[in-house]
Amino acid sequence: MPDGSESESRKLLGRLRDTMAEEAAGQARLDKITHLTADSMGTEVCSIYLFRDEDTLELCATEGLNKEAVHQTRMKLGEGLVGRVARTGKMVNTADAPSERGFRYMPETGEEIFSSFLGLPIQRLGEKLGVLVVQTKAKREFTADEIYALEVVAMVLAEMAELGAFVGEGAALKARHTQATMLRGVTGQEGTAEGHVWLHEPRVVVTNLVSDDPERERERLKAAVEKLRVSVDEMLAGASGEQLEVLEAYRMFANSKGWRKRMEEDIDRGLSAEAAVEKEQSAARARMAQVADAYLRERLHDLDDLSNRLLRILTGQGSETGAEMPTDPILIARNIGPGELLDYGRRLKGIVLEEGSVGSHAAIVARALAIPLVIHAARITTEALNGDHIMVDGDQGLVHLRPDESVVSAFRDKIAMQAQAQERYASIRQKPAMSLCGKRVHLFMNAGLLADLPSLPSSGAEGVGLFRTELQFLIRNQMPRRNELVEVYKRVLDSAGDKPVVFRTLDIGSDKVLPYMKPTDEPNPALGWRAIRVGLDKPGVMRMQIQALLRAAEGRSLSVMFPFVAQYEEFRAARAEVDKAVAIERKLGHVVPEKITIGTMLETPSLAYASKKFFEDVEFISIGGNDLKQFFFAADRENERVRRRYDTLNVSFLTFLEGIVQRCSESGTSLSFCGEDAGRPIEAVCLAAIGLHRLSMRPASIGPVKSLIMRTDLDALYDVICDARERGEQSVRASVLDYLRWSG
Ligand code: PEP
Ligand code: MG
């Protein structure tokens, strides 16, 4: 395309469209595209390299290089100029390829006579598919128009690949979305599940890429952008807090002239309106992968979301695509909010997220619902199609998409074994957790949602050791009203019957940010203004909550616990709030609980060293091991790099915990442990061995923990722990495992 004109570009696109429409095998189509492109651009060479596997590219079609090299020439990611384009996702445009850094000559291709080189990535929505190259003998750099024309061809190629246009006899590409794929992620919630994919946001399929009528396409784009703008404005009207910020960013993009202009130029060159949107979206995704700055990446995410909305408007493919949710749905999403997840509820068999974090609200909800969850499963939203067979291994953080027979049978064996174990646990449900040496351990469950309550009888828990009240606040779009809270707490107490429930007052801040509260920008939120600190500084919400608890009790006993208390004074001040609320209730003529037990979480090392008076004064203490451990080791519980670095069975930590046991026993204070470690059988028996005889955990953990306690001599295990400590071992885990193995 020496004159690089728009009409040339449109002509080429038209010819590509015809190629697509023709009945032809995949290889024939690829050959034709290289021929058409070289012809239209006036270059001697046009070649298509596609990924064979994650890091190998293969020459799949060429015009101008030796045909014998097709399907023979391969290169690794990063190797030569083609490999460089594939690795960086960036174009290489050079007049003198042999003198370029990293140039590698492939003798079988006969490319030594070509000097200039223009290579572009073939990618679809951030997914790399290959590289498209043109070469000429004459030494010259390619112009902006030529680059643009090749970009459009690359995009059409990517879309055609998505539509399966290159599959068939002698195919260059295997059919997409048909192969078995294993994706490695991170455990969000343990458990295994088999089912079929249900995409939270179904992919939009663009079938008409090319258009002869730019006027019409411009009009369609204009109307769609207008519709989008109106819908963003409507959403803005009802939004608040952080949501408002995101929507403001949406509005900024929806009004962005640059974005519109680029799409209109794409249309003028022959793309349909939806292809133009997708081209810009692909470019944004490619940028997203390279931007390190979290804020900028978020904005690119916003643009991506907006492009999706625009595509849905243009193609008429809403979230209601007519697809029916399978009976065994495994939810696939880039990310999901806790409210949306609750809407799906227990119907879901499993969840796989491309992003997410262990402490995210969605993960908390998944845990409460006991739905296996894998997070950080890269590419899952592009790889999976609605209805695909899928197996989720929440224990290992693995996802098997369209698994082959051997994986299916191995996985089913694993599920069957877990079911057998569950049966075993059911048989001990009514039995007390009594160790071989006659020590009674009390097992409670952690809860936070009404959805948790059916687990109380089914798990064999002796009560709720930790009710995280903040979940009721996190799953809503606005602050719950007092009466709503009274209803929720009442239902919790009603379904617990005579089993005790410990309500923890609001623990917000740090990772738990309420969507409707003004976010505070803190450098270290985990060490910041959170939990009881917020409760005491701005007591309005805590007072409302305490009042709701008092009323929900309807005269029954009530246990209240404060989160994140770091010093005695905070406990005293918080307790005074309860006393005040009781006095007010009395004055108003309301019944007050017959007995109120007030305790605190111990989540900061400082509280372990509080005065004797504190230990005598507080009625009970519950160790929040998740937070306590992160502060003890100075290792962020949310940071994948460090959160597993220090073992809970590290002797320093166990010795520290033993010190707390000692202090509580001296003052006769009831002590429990309610962090995640309480639900891990090996950790749980060690905690019990050092004297923690009240453990609160996820309901699903009660069976496995009880089963191990009943098979363990805790006195003997304590000796094993002491011996390992004596020997100077860093963690007692190896010795404990050895002992448990040999003792049967
Ligand atoms: C803890 O820190 O151990 C705890 C139970 O509280 P949360 O996990 O809700 O912070
Ligand atoms: Mg905590």
Q: How far is the CA of 630 from the centre of ligand 1 (A)?
A: 11
Q: How far is the CA of 364 from the centre of ligand 1 (A)?
A: 11
| Cα angle, residue 521 at apex, residues 516 and 525 outer, rounded to 5° | 95
Which residues lie below 8 Å from residue 8, measured CB to CB, with a gap of 6+? 1, 40, 149
Residue 614 has pLDDT above 90, yes or no: yes
Residues with CB under 5 A from ligand 2 (ion): 603, 624, 627
For the structural domain made of 181-202+323-417, what CATH number should be given? Answer: 3.50.30.10
For the question of residue 674 being annotated catalytic, the response is: yes
Measured distance CA(576)–CA(583) in Å, rounded? 11
Each residue of 64-101: pLDDT tens digit? 999 999 999 999 988 999 999 999 888 999 999 988 88
Each residue of 284-333: pLDDT tens digit? 777 766 777 766 667 777 777 788 888 888 887 655 445 688 999 999 99
Q: Which residue puts its alpha carbon closest to atom 1 of ligand 1?
A: 624
**Of these residues, 376, 674, 686, 693, which one is catalytic?**
674
DSSP symbol at 720: H
Residue 171 has pLDDT above 50, yes or no: no
Q: How far is the CA of 500 from the centre of ligand 2 (A)?
A: 20
5-162 sits in which CATH class?
Answer: alpha beta
Mean pLDDT within 535-547? 95
DSSP symbol at 450: G
| Residue 92 host element (H or E) | strand 92-94
Which residues lie with the beta carbon below 6 Å from any ligand 1 atom? 466, 468, 507, 603, 624-627, 674-675
Q: Could you tell me if 433 and 220 are in contact, meaning their C-beta atoms sit under 8 angstroms apart?
A: no
Task: Give the C-alpha distances (Å, rounded to integers) separating 39 from 18, 34, 43, 131.
Answer: 16, 8, 7, 19
Which of 601, 638, 653, 692 is the pocket-test mutation for ligand 1 (most atoms within 8 Å of CB)?
Answer: 601
The model's confidence at residue 335, banded by pLDDT at 50, 70 and 90, is confident
Which residues lie below 8 Å from residue 477, measured CB to CB, with a gap of 6+? 243, 339, 515, 516
Mean pLDDT within 567-576? 98
Each residue of 341-374: pLDDT tens digit? 887 888 999 999 998 777 666 787 888 788 999 9
Please report the atom of ligand 1 found closest to the CA of residue 563: 6
Measured distance CA(166)–CA(4) in Å, rounded? 28
Please report the atom of ligand 1 found closest to the CA of residue 622: 5
Please report the atom of ligand 1 found closest to the CA of residue 675: 3
Name the percent of the chain lying above pLDDT 90.
53
Which of 446, 504, 627, 698 is the pocket-test mutation for ligand 1 (most atoms within 8 Å of CB)?
Answer: 627
pLDDT of residue 160: 77
In 3D space, the residue among 330, 321, 336, 381 whose CA is nearest the CA of residue 351 turns out to be 330
Please report the atom of ligand 1 found closest to the CA of residue 674: 5
Q: Could you tell me if 280 and 265 are in contact, meaning their C-beta atoms sit under 8 angstroms apart?
A: no
For the question of residue 686 being annotated catalytic, the response is: no
Q: How far is the CA of 438 from the centre of ligand 1 (A)?
A: 30
Q: Could you tell me if 393 and 400 are in contact, meaning their C-beta atoms sit under 8 angstroms apart?
A: yes
pLDDT of residue 139: 92
**HSE-up of 537 (CA within 13 Å, CB side)?**
8
pLDDT of residue 169: 47
Q: Given this chain, do its domains 5-162 and 181-202+323-417 carry the same CATH topology? A: no
Q: Which tokens belong to 630?
A: 């992160």
Please report the atom of ligand 1 found closest to the CA of residue 676: 3
Q: How far is the CA of 624 from the centre of ligand 1 (A)?
A: 5
Q: How far is CA 71 from the centre of its chain?
A: 38
pLDDT of residue 232: 79
Q: Which residue puts its alpha carbon closest to atom 9 of ligand 1?
A: 468
Each residue of 629-670: pLDDT tens digit? 999 999 988 777 888 899 999 999 999 999 999 999 999 999
Q: How far is the CA of 468 from the centre of ligand 1 (A)?
A: 9
Q: Could you tell me if 318 and 203 are in contact, meaning their C-beta atoms sit under 8 angstroms apart?
A: no
Q: Which residue puts its alpha carbon closest to atom 4 of ligand 1?
A: 624
Measured distance CA(503)–CA(696) in Å, rounded? 13
- Per the listing, tokens 């291994």 go with 393
Measured distance CA(66)–CA(17) in Å, rounded? 26
Name the β-bridge partners of 520: none
**Of these residues, 46, 60, 301, 361, which one is catalytic?**
361
Each residue of 420-445: pLDDT tens digit? 888 889 999 999 999 999 999 999 99
Q: Which residue puts its alpha carbon closest to atom 8 of ligand 1?
A: 626
Domain boundaries defined on the chain: 5-162, 181-202+323-417, 214-321, 428-743
Please report the atom of ligand 1 found closest to the CA of residue 510: 10
Each residue of 9-20: pLDDT tens digit? 778 888 887 877
Q: Where are the beta strands (DSSP E) in 670-715?
A: 670-673, 694-697
Residues 580-588: contacts with CB under 8 Å, at least 24 apart: 580/543, 581/543, 581/546, 581/547, 581/550, 582/550, 584/547, 585/547, 585/550, 585/551
Which of 189, 503, 603, 629 is the pocket-test mutation for ligand 1 (most atoms within 8 Å of CB)?
Answer: 603
CATH superfamily membership of 214-321: PtsI, HPr-binding domain (1.10.274.10)
Q: Which amino acid is at 653?
A: F
Q: Which residue puts its alpha carbon closest to atom 6 of ligand 1?
A: 624
DSSP symbol at 360: S
pTM for the whole structure:
0.68
Q: How far is the CA of 411 from the centre of ligand 2 (A)?
A: 35
CATH superfamily membership of 428-743: Phosphoenolpyruvate-binding domains (3.20.20.60)
Stretch among 1-15, 133-147, 162-176, 669-683 having the lowest mean pLDDT: 162-176
